[in-house]
Amino acid sequence: TTAPASSLKLRYLSTPVLSTATSTVSGVKIGWGKVTGADGYYVYRKTRFGNFQRIATVKGKTSFLDSSAKKGTTYYYTVIAYKGTMLSSYDKDGIKVKDKY
């Protein structure tokens, strides 16, 4: 038997909201708001004319330090929340920061 429609719950993950992007001596640090129910986050980076590439998987925190960022390069970062195989949407513009160090 199948469950009545009234007992079905639509499950989804909210889109992570990017809150900070700072150039530090150690690299570029980005931060975002916690997404309820997420197991973790995928961090993506691109340059102005490039495509987003996944650079990290983060669990248990809502920040990431990109120590591979190159001085003088402007990057765009975005984050996708995940729970198992379910993925959130993402900010298609990302958050922009220039690595100064």
Looking at residue 5, what is its pLDDT?
Answer: 54
Per-residue pLDDT, 11: 73
Ranges of residues in the chain whose predicted pLDDT is under 70: 1-10
**Selection from 63, 54, 61 nearest residue 87 by Cα:** 54
Question: In the prediction, which pLDDT does 1 show?
Answer: 53
What confidence tens digit (pLDDT) does each residue in 41-62 have?
999 999 999 999 999 999 999 9
